[in-house]
Structure 1
Amino acid sequence: MNMASIFGIHFGSRFVSTKKFEASLINERNDFERFNSFENSELLKRYQELDALVHSGEFEKKVRELKTARYKDTEQWRQLDQYNAMKSSSDIKTYLKFTKAGLHERMKQIAESDSYQSYLAMKAFVNSGEFHSAKVKKDFKQTEAYTKLKTYEQLSKDPNIKFYLKTEKKTNYKTFTNLENSERLKTFFKLEAIVQSKEFQEHKAFMEDKKRFKKSEEYSLLEEYERLKKNEEIKWYLDIKKKNPFKEFRQWDLTFEDDFDAMHLDTSKWMTGYYWGKALMNDAYALAGEKQFFKDDNVELRDSVARIVTRRDGARGKVWDPAHGFTTQHFEYTSGLISTGQSFRQKYGKFEAKIRFNHSYPMLNAFWMVGEKITPQIDVIKSAFKNGKSIECGVHVMDKNQAVHQMRKAPALNSTTTSTSTPLSGHRKPSFGKSTDKKCTGRSSIFRTRPCTWHFVPYYRKTRLITVFRD
C-alpha cells in the first residue's frame, strides 16, 4: 500500500465535528475507566461470588431440599422416633418411674449402711453350722452365738432393712437391676441427650416450619443476589462486558501525552527548535530559505492550548545551508517549533494530535515526524496551498539513493466542519505505523492501525503551527 492510498483512507471522507469526535472519545475513555474501576470493586466481587454460588450444583441441591424435604425423611426424625419408642416401652417406663421416685437411691443407701452390712453378717451366722451347733447346747443363752441371734432379730425389725428386703423381691426392682448399666439403657439416654439438645430442637422446629425456606440462609443469599442483579452499575457492567467495546483500547499502551494544562511548556517533553541544533550546539537555527527564526517566546500556553505565534519583530540567528554550513543572518519574522526529538521517539504505533491553524499563505503550518536522518519523513499535515482549501500530506523516502516524495493533496477542513466554541478547535488526526513482526504501542485510540510498506525508523514528532499574527 503506497502513501497516497493510506492518506486517501484518512482524508478521503468528511470528518465529524471536533466537538462530537472528542465527546465520543471522552465518553469511551470515561466508560473504559469506569469499567476498569468497577471491575475491581467490592460490589462486583460480591455479585460474582453470589453468581458462582447460586449456580453451583451444591447450592441448587440445598435449595431443592429446603423446598421439598420432609422431616420424616431425616436422620433426626428417626432418632426421635426410636427415642419415643424406647421411652414408651414397659421396662424403660418402669426404670424411669423407679428412679424418679428415688427408690434406687434409697436402696443404694441402705445396701451401703453399717446396719444392713451387720444384718447380712448376722444372717449368715445364724444360718451357719457353727450357730446350729451352739444352739443345742444347754448354756446357749450365755454364748456369743445367742447374742448374735438377738442382734439379727433386732436388725430384721429395722424399717429400712424391712423396706430393702421387701423391695428387692418386687418386679420393678428386678427390672431396674436388669437395665442398669445395660447397652439398651445407654442407647436410650444417648438418644435422650440428642433429642433434648438445643440444636435438635431448632432443627425440628425449622423442618416443621412451612415457611422454613424463607427463613434459611440460602433464601437470604438468593434475595441478595437478585438485588445485585438489578443494581444499575452491575447491569451496565454486564451489558458492556457482553458487547466488549474496549477491545481497541486494550490493544494500546499510552506512551506519550501532553494536554498543555500547565502554565508553561514542559521542557522535559518538548524542545523548541530543530533537533540537531540542540544536539550539536545547544542553539536554535533555521533552514536556508526560511523567513523566520524560532524563539522560545513564540510558544504560549493558555486554556490548555499550545499556541505557536508568528511575529514581525525581527531577530538574528543561525542558518543552516548544506553548501555553506552555519551562518548568521537577520530574520524579519520570528515563529515557533515544538519537537519531542530529545525526549520521545517511537518506531511503531499511533500518533495523534489536535491541531488548528489559520489560512496564512505563504507561511507554512505543519505536523510531521522524522528520525535521525532526513528520510524517511512523514508529513502528517501541512498547509502548503495558496487557496487555503487544501492541505498536503505524505511521506519522503529514499529509493536507490533517489529521494521519492509520495504526497497527497486533500481537502482542507474549514470552520464549517467544526462546531465548537473553544478558542482553538481543530481535528484530532492519527498517524499510524505498524510492523508485521512487532507489537504496536502508542496512545489508546479508536483508530485502527493499517500495515504500511515503507521502512520505519524511530520517529519523533515536530509541530510548526502559525495561528496568531502580531505586528
Structure 2
Amino acid sequence: MDAVQITSDGDEYDFSADELQYKARLEEFVNSADFREKKELYRTKKYKDTDEHRIMRQYEKLLNSADIRLYYETKNSALLKEYLDFKSNPESLNLKDLSISEVSAKIDKLKLFEQSKEYKNYTQYHDSLAIREFEELKKKISEPEFQQSNAFWANPDRWETTPEYRLEQRYLALVGEKISTGRRRNKTSIFKKYNSVKLTFYERFDWLKLEDSRWSPGFHSGNSRLIGNYSFTNEHQSNNNGQNVAVSEGVLTIHTVELPNRSLAWDVQKGFVEKDFKCTSDVIQTSATFKQKYGVFSAKVRCSGTLHHALWLSGDRKLPHVNIFHFNGSKITIGNANQHKIDGVEITGISENRYYIYTLEWTPRALIWYVNNVEVYRTNENVPHEALYIGINSFIPSKMEPTFGKFEVEWIKVFDVRE
C-alpha cells in the first residue's frame, strides 16, 4: 500500500458548537487504541496469513487433484450408473431382450469397468474424507460472506475500503489537513468526463509467490467441472498450475517453454482426457478475489514469441469475453466476443516487444479501447452488464508451430468511475 503523507496547510478554522462536538468525537475515535490496532492490522496483514487464503489454497489443491477430478468424472458417467444399477438389480439390463453375444458383451463391459482404474479410484474416494472436505470447501467459497471477506483480505489496499478510513479522512478534512497518497492523478481525457474516480484494483506485482497474491492458477467457470488447471486438446501447451509464472523486479512474466509433458486436457466431445503436449505455459485469473462491472481497466504489457498472449475480462460463462490486449502471434488485436460475435480491430504501427499501456473504458453504453491514452476502437454492441474478473494467459493453438515466448505485465489498474 502506498504511504499516506499528511501535511497541514497552516490555516486556522472556526467551528460551530455542533461541528466542534462532531470533530471531538472523530478525534477521539481516530486516536483510540482500537482504531490504531485495526488500522495497523488492515494495512500490514498479509493475505497468505489469513483463513481465507488457507481455505482458497486448500480448495484449489483438491480441485486440481487428478484423482478427485477422475472421481467426479466417473461419478457422473453413464457407465457407473449402469454398473451400480446392475449390481443392485441385475434385471435392469433387460438381458432377456438381447442375444447371447449381446449379453456376453454387456457383461464383459461391466466386468472390465469393475477392474478399471476409474472404478477403483471411485471406490477409494467415494464418501472419503477428501471428498467431504472438498464439498465443504466448495460450499464455503460459494457463500457471499466468504467471497466478500476473501476479496477484502486479498486487496493490499483494503484499508482504504473501510468505514474507518472514510471517517479518518473526514476528520482530517475537518481539521484542514490535506492528504497525499503519493499517487499521481491521471489527468488524461479518459477521466476528465467523470466526477468521481476511485482506484479499486492496483496490481504492482510486489510479491514473489503466486500463492501470496490475489491471483489463482487455472480457469474459472460457472460450471464446477471446468474450474481449475487444465488445457485444451486443440492447443500445443499444457497449463502448468502457476509454475510458469514468475515475478521479478515488479514485473510479472508468463513463460511459455518447449517441454514435452502429459497433462489433463478438455475435449469438447470427450470431456477431460490425458494428452501429450509439446510445451508448457500458464493461465491466472482473479475470479476469487476481484470482479467489477464497468470502469476503466488499464495495463502496461509487452510480449515476445510467435504465439498467443492475452489479458482479458470474463465471467462465469464462456461469454462475454473482452480482450484488453491480445497478440495472436503476428498482430495485436483488441475486442469483445459476446453472443457469438467478435467485435474488435487489429492495432498496427506499434511493436508487441515494447511496453505500451492498453486501456479499456467500459460503461453501460459502450466499450472503448485506448493505447497510450489514444482511442483506437469503440463499440456500442453487446456491452456486458455483469461483473467480470481479470485473466492473463499465453497459449499455442494446434494450427501454429510449438514455440517459446514471454508475456510481461508491469502493472494493472482498475478504476470505478462515476459521471
TM-score where L is the length of structure 2: 0.45
Larger of the two Rg values belongs to structure: 1
Determine which structure has the larger strand proportion and give its number: 2
